[in-house]
Amino acid sequence: MRTQVITINNEVGLHARPATFFIQRANEFKSGIWVEKEERRVNAKSLLGVLSLGIVKGTTITLIADGSDEEEAINSLMALIEDNFGE
């Protein structure tokens, strides 16, 4: 299992279009992937789950991956977030 803490810095947070990009990327991996915010954990492959966290600019989240490609999954999602979802 691998975990990574990161702060969301794009203008709209993890809503609508950025959330869709995030979920599409998470679904590329076999590992189970979760997003955790303030003790609440949701499946990173679920649009409704991710949107339900209400992640806005400046929110710190924890990415959790467990499986055969967990390292690659975390690195890929971190790169997407650090690139502000291509904005």
- Which residues are known catalytic residues? 15
d(CA 3, CA 53): 18
CB-facing half-sphere around the CA of 56: CA atoms within 13 A: 1
Helix and strand numbers (H, E) in the chain are 3, 4
